[in-house]
């Protein structure tokens, strides 16, 4: 066991001795190799299936990375990615990882690899956000943390000195952001649950004054949506990257207690708010074999009916999270090309 996190009002599981596990009670939910939730609210998390990797800012790296704590109270942090080859200041992409709001981290090896590649191929600074996870912190905690990251970037754009690196927390001047970022060209992005989050954070940002930061667009990849009624596609599709069991556990653990899957955080395509909110231009990336495909297409149609500026791209012969799980797929180059073209357009 690598780490244990707990409901703040519950006793932690601690070491997995029989007496401690007996006190924690029956296991209520488990995603093998990732998380185990006990009846008393205790949570065990594991990292032996997908390992965590550290950042690296060695001069020889094609993309340097660095971890920065942005909120000491919540311990929310970000991993910054800076391409070695750059001419002038670069666009900023604030990225939200997937994992059903329950799993995931910028430190996951599969995310770190993809972020390094993405930063290089779109020639942008990427800020990947480590938001708080459910069930310890249910929605809207992820939205709060990710909008908090937008606010933190806004503070950097305004010249506030709040950066705290893990190695040198007091060296506030050590900021890649002010040195290398074009804050007039900021984009929100995310995949799966992070795509869901990008949608909600874009709505929040449209209601706030985030100047001198200018959010030019949102890149929403395979967004994780749902609803009380399963579609025929969801029932018939077998996507090993996102099974029905995992979907059920993710929503059970992440939605507010007592909420159904028609909650606005989940059933976004049928949310009435789309007609009444401002959204930046959206690039919606859909995988042809993804169990979320029909939900994603519903989202596209809802945005279009609401008069939003949205373009969708369907990637053939791949499923959910292919950019993480199939690193040799030629579709990744297509994805990064579409993202680069979108950023260059705005």
Give the catalytic positions in this structure. Answer: 192, 290, 320
The sign of the CA dihedral 70, 268, 255, 241 is negative
- In this structure, what token pair is assigned to residue 280? 């930046």
User: Are 47 and 2 contacting, i.e. CB atoms less than 8 angstroms apart?
Assistant: yes
User: Are 130 and 103 contacting, i.e. CB atoms less than 8 angstroms apart?
Assistant: no
What is the spatial distance between Cα 164 and Cα 105, in angstroms, rounded to a whole number?
Answer: 19
Torsion on CA atoms 191, 72, 11, 265, rounded to nearest 10: -30
- In this structure, what token pair is assigned to residue 194? 């992070």
The beta strand positions in 177-281, using DSSP E, are 181-191, 215-221
CB-CB neighbours of 267 under 10 Å: 18
The 10 Å CB-count burial string (b at 16+, else e) for 70-80 is bbeeeebbbbb
Provide the total of helices (H) and of strands (E) in the chain, helices listed first: 10, 13
CB proximity list for 137: less than 8 A, separation 6 or greater: none
Q: Which of 108, 111, 107, 79 is nearest to 177 (CA)?
A: 79
User: Are 13 and 6 contacting, i.e. CB atoms less than 8 angstroms apart?
Assistant: yes
The sign of the CA dihedral 26, 31, 37, 39 is negative
Instruction: Give every strand in the sheet of 35-38, ordered side by side.
Output: 3-6, 42-45, 35-38, 27-31
CA atoms within 13 A on the CB side of 142: 32
Give the 3-state secondary structure of residue 134: coil
């Amino acid at each position: 066991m690598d780490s244990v996190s707990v409901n703040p009002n519950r006793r932690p599981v601690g070491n997995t001795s029989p007496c401690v596990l007996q006190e924690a009670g029956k296991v209520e939910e488990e995603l093998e190799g990732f998380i185990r939730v006990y009846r008393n609210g205790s949570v065990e998390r594991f990292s032996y299936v997908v390992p965590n990797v550290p950042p690296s800012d060695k001069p020889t790296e094609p993309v340097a990375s660095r971890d920065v704590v942005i909120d000491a109270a919540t311990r929310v942090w970000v991993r910054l990615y800076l391409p070695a080859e750059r001419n002038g200041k670069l666009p900023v992409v604030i990225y939200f990882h997937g994992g059903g709001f329950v799993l995931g981290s910028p430190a996951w090896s599969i995310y770190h690899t993809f972020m390094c590649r993405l930063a290089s191929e779109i020639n942008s600074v990427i800020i990947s956000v480590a938001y708080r996870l459910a069930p310890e912190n249910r929605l809207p905690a992820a939205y709060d943390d990710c909008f908090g990251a937008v606010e933190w970037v806004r503070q950097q754009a305004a010249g506030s000195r709040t950066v705290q690196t893990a190695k040198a927390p007091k060296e506030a001047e050590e900021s890649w952001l002010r040195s290398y970022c074009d804050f007039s060209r900021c984009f929100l992005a995310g995949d799966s649950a992070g795509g869901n989050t990008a949608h909600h954070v874009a709505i929040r940002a449209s209601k706030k004054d985030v100047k001198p930061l200018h959010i030019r667009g949102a890149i929403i990849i395979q967004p994780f949506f749902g609803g009380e009624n399963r579609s025929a596609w969801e029932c018939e599709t077998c996507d090993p990257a996102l099974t029905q069991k995992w979907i059920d556990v993710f929503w059970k653990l992440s939605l507010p207690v007592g909420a159904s899957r028609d909650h606005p955080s989940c059933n976004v395509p049928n949310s009435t708010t789309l007609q009444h909110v401002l959204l930046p231009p959206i690039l919606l990336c859909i995988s042809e074999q993804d169990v979320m495909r029909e939900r994603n297409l519903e989202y596209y149609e809802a945005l279009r009916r609401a008069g939003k500026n949205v373009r969708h791209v369907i990637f053939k012969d791949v499923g959910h999270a292919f950019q993480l799980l199939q690193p040799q797929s030629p579709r990744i180059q297509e994805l990064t090309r579409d993202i680069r073209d979108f950023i260059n357009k705005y």
